[in-house]
Amino acid sequence: MTAVATARPAAGAATRAKGRKRRAVARDDRRSTLLSIVMWLAAAYFLLPLVWLLISATKTTGDLFSTFGYWFAPHFGLWDNIVRTFTYEDGAFGRWILNTILYAGAGSIGATILSTMAGYAFAKYEFPGGKAIFSVVLGSIMIPLTALAIPTYLLFSGAGLTDTPLAVIIPSLISPFGVYLMRVYAADSVPDSILEAARVDGAGEGRIFLQVALRQLGPGIVTVFLFALVATWNNYFLPLIMLNSSQFFPLTVGLAHWQATATNPSGGNTPLFDIVITGSVISVLPLVAAFLYLQRYWQSGLGTGAVKG
């Protein structure tokens, strides 16, 4: 299951508006300076820690502790840090990136497929047990992860699958929130009428789903995918328990692992702050880029997905 528990998802909801007309023209072109200033301060607050992260990535460990956090050190070490990050521990970091892409990619694509199919079914078909099963799925969002951690580990261990990528990917295929989102979106954006029309035309249910429904579900699918992507990319607890070998770690576990050498020292260990910080910067960039790039999809996906509370 995607780390829904820790990601604290909130569903997109808007009133079911009759004749949803988007406001095409800006209502008011007056710009409020006061409001702008407030919002810019807010933006600064949200970016504050990230700015520190970026600047710190240019410093060596020694400089980290002896220079002011929000300005650069005399020695600009960003390139050195990047090189060290990628070469430390035999290129572990590069492997971690590939692992994260694998887990997040496979997990979120898989979760999207499963959620889309299930959400569509719950929305557009009335079948025995449908409502009951859906309630159970919704209810499952409330289950604390710790209740599942050890039993899931023992299950996988029995199957000999711990310390393998499957141990991370399979649980992340379930996204109850994705099912919920998709159900709501499907209910709204796939009118019964076109389904009926297709049935009258003689199309089988499978074809209806693949050729008629999916087209309508586009933005919703992208939304579910993106949120599943964030959850699996940032997944920490599950891989932490399942994986032992550094070669399978995703970025989150790997970075925490390096960080732990600084807080849990014993003979031979030296703090690895510089590469933890540089690694953190590198790990944040892809997601931010993905969101930037796919902005218009998820915004419309959330917006036009009218949801009943």
Partner 1 sequence: MTAAPALAAVRPPRRRRATPAKRRQWIAAYVLIIPFLVVFIAMLVVPLVYSGWLSLFTSQLIGGQQFAGLTNYVNAVTDPKFLSSVGRMGLFLLVQVPIMLALALFFALALDSNRVRGKRFIRLAIFVPYAVPSVVATLMWGYLYGKDFGPISQFFQAIGLGTPDLLSNQTIFGSLVNIVTWEFVGYNMIILYAALRTIPAELLDAAEVDGAGAWRTAWSVKIPAIRPAILLTVIFSIIGSFQLFNEPNLLHGVAPNVIGTSYTPNLYAFNVAFVNQDVNYAASLAFILGIVIMIVSYVVQLSTNRAERNR
Partner 2 sequence: MRSARKTATLLGGVAVVAALALAGCSPSTGSGDSSGPVSQADIDKAMNTPTTITFWSWVPDLKNEVALFEKKYPKIKVNTVNVGSGADQYTKLRTALKAGKGAPDAVQIEYQYISSFRLTNSLEDLSKYGADKLGSEYVDWVWNQVSDGGVWGIPQDSGPLGNLYRTDIMQQAGVTDPPKTWDEYAADAQKVKDNTSSYISNLPGNDPGQMVGFFWQAGAKPFGYDGKKSVKIDLDSADTQKVVSYWNDLIQKGLVSTDADFNDNWYQGFNSGKYAGWPSPAWAPVFLQGSAKATAGKWAAAKIPQWNAGDDVSGNWGGSGDSVLSSSQHKIAAYELIKFINNDKESTLQFANKQFLFPTLKSTLADPSFVDLKSDFYGGQQVNKLFTGISDTVDVKFEWLPFMDYVYSSYNDTLGKAISDKTDLKKGLTDWQTAVVAYAKKQGFTVTQ
Residues that bind partner 2 (CB under 8 A): 61-62, 65-66, 128-129, 132, 150, 153-155, 157-158, 160, 162-163, 241, 244-246, 257, 260-271, 273
Q: Is residue 101 part of the contact set for partner 1 (CB under 8 A)?
A: no
Beta carbon nearer to partner 2, 273 or 298: 273
CA-to-CA distance for 277 and 81, rounded, in angstroms?
A: 9
Is-contact 67 59, C-beta < 8 A? yes
Q: Which of residues 25-54 bind partner 1 (CB under 8 A)?
A: 26-32, 35-36, 38-40, 42-43, 45-50, 52-53
Q: Is residue 121 part of the contact set for partner 1 (CB under 8 A)?
A: yes
* Cβ 243 to partner 1 shortest distance, Å: 15
* Cβ 255 to partner 2 shortest distance, Å: 13
Partner whose binding site includes residue 268, from partner 1, partner 2, none (CB under 5 to 8 Å by kind) = partner 2
Partner whose binding site includes residue 283, from partner 1, partner 2, none (CB under 5 to 8 Å by kind) = partner 1
Partner whose binding site includes residue 62, from partner 2, partner 1, none (CB under 5 to 8 Å by kind) = partner 2
What is each CA distance from 118 to 71, 130, 181, 207, in whole angstroms? 51, 10, 11, 16
CA-to-CA distance for 279 and 277, rounded, in angstroms?
A: 5
Closest residue by Cα to residue 52 from 34, 35, 71: 71
Q: How many residues bind partner 1 (CB under 8 A)?
A: 121
Q: Which stretch binds partner 1 (CB under 8 A): 75-83, 85-93, 101-109, 137-145?
A: 137-145
**How far does Cα 33 stand from its chain's mean position?**
35
* Cβ 4 to partner 1 shortest distance, Å: 9
Beta carbon nearer to partner 1, 77 or 280: 280
- Fill in the DSSP letter of residue 211: I
Q: Which of 106, 168, 173, 212 binds partner 1 (CB under 8 A)?
A: 173
Closest residue by Cα to residue 114 from 52, 194, 15, 180: 180
Partner whose binding site includes residue 162, from partner 1, partner 2, none (CB under 5 to 8 Å by kind) = partner 2
Is-contact 244 155, C-beta < 8 A? no
Say which residues have a Cβ less than 8 Å from residue 179's Cβ, sequence separation at least 6.
114, 115, 118, 119, 122, 134, 137
- Fill in the DSSP letter of residue 208: I
Beta carbon nearer to partner 2, 162 or 189: 162
Beta carbon nearer to partner 1, 9 or 165: 9
- Does residue 190 sit in helix, strand or coil? coil
Beta carbon nearer to partner 2, 33 or 266: 266
* Cβ 132 to partner 2 shortest distance, Å: 7
Half-sphere exposure of 236 (CA within 13 A, CB side): 10
* Cβ 109 to partner 2 shortest distance, Å: 27
Q: Over the range 157-185, which residues count as b (16 or more CB within 10 Å of their CB) and which as e?
A: eeeeebebbebbbbbbbbbbbbbbbbbbb
